[in-house]
Amino acid sequence: MEALQPPRNLLISGRNNNWKQFRQMFLLYLEAIGLSTATESRKIAIFLNCAGTEGVEIYNAAKSKDGDQPKVEETLDDVLELFDNYSEPRKGLTIHTYELLRMKQEEQESIDHFITRTINQAKKCELGELFERMTIMVIIIGCKDTSIKERLLRLEQFDLKKATELCRTVELGKDQVNIIEGQNRERLDMIRRMKQKECNYCGKIHLPKACPAYGRKCKICNKYNHFASMCRNKNKSYKQGTGNKKEKKIHEVAQDRDCSSASEDYNLDVILKVKLGGLL
């Protein structure tokens, strides 16, 4: 097994700031090598070694501001908080509240994820007793689904837990409906494909119950509901030597327009009902 590699390349200045990722990777590394219970001074030393030159400079600058003031033993959490504040300076409550009030559910974002984002942002605003009321109102205003808005507005109390469960239930129900509708569309497409075959009475593909041959008289056998081009007796007529006149009539009838048979459609519907268990 290869030795575990510590996280490197901490970048904490400019657009390429990777502090949050580096922080997580360091804590995972510390746990993996079995030193999460080591002394605080040792963990800090390992952290600074991984952080590199830029990290050490930031740490030293922060320590120089403290001067010679006495302080309790420094912990790794203290150092991590120092870098947290350096990476993202503390914003005022006004800014946090402004960001909370303008939150909107993103495209393709689940309602569950949007609620989590809203709750996390609300925690930064020090809302006190107004926490649940403000959070639910932001969810109502920011969510995309009108049905969820309506259900939340019917809540008698500002209960964040109930509101969250309601939102999840509504979204889950819609997901299930979409799955069922998708399955039904697939079944209907399959039925349509099964229906799209050549008509035994006209020889063409056509819409159900729209066959012009229905009610028409065959010029070969004098029976109804099919064209001479599809007549079952036409080969028999040739064998009996009907001559060029009958051959000419058959050729003329073969030029009739595309069509379909209603009686064929009824037979096909019966077959489909048996095969598909009554879907039609």
Query: In this structure, what token pair is assigned to residue 18?
Result: 């990777």
For residue 125, with 0-12 CB atoms within 10 Å meaning exposed, 13-18 middle and 19 or more buried, which class applies? buried
57 plus 115 within the same structural domain: no
215 plus 261 within the same structural domain: yes
Confidence of residue 253 (pLDDT cuts 50, 70, 90): very low
Average pLDDT along the chain:
76
The residue among 87, 110, 135 that closes a domain is 87
Q: Quote the crossing angle between the two packed helices 131-142 and 146-153, to the nearest 10°.
A: 150
For residue 183, the model assigns a pLDDT of: 64
Taking only the tens place, the pLDDT of each residue in 45-91 is: 999 999 988 889 989 888 776 655 545 578 999 899 888 888 876 66
> What's the CA gap between 273 and 3, in Å, rounded?
65
| 7 domain-assigned | no
Q: What domain range is 255 assigned to?
A: 198-280
As for how many domains the chain has, the answer is 3
What phi and psi, each to the nearest 5 degrees, are found at residue 52?
80, -170
- What distance, in Å, lies between the first and last C-alpha atoms of the chain? 62
| 60 domain-assigned | yes
Confidence of residue 257 (pLDDT cuts 50, 70, 90): very low
Q: State the alpha helices, DSSP H only, in 196-261.
A: 234-239, 243-253
- Does the pLDDT of residue 255 top 80, yes or no? no
| 10 domain-assigned | no
For residue 50, the model assigns a pLDDT of: 92
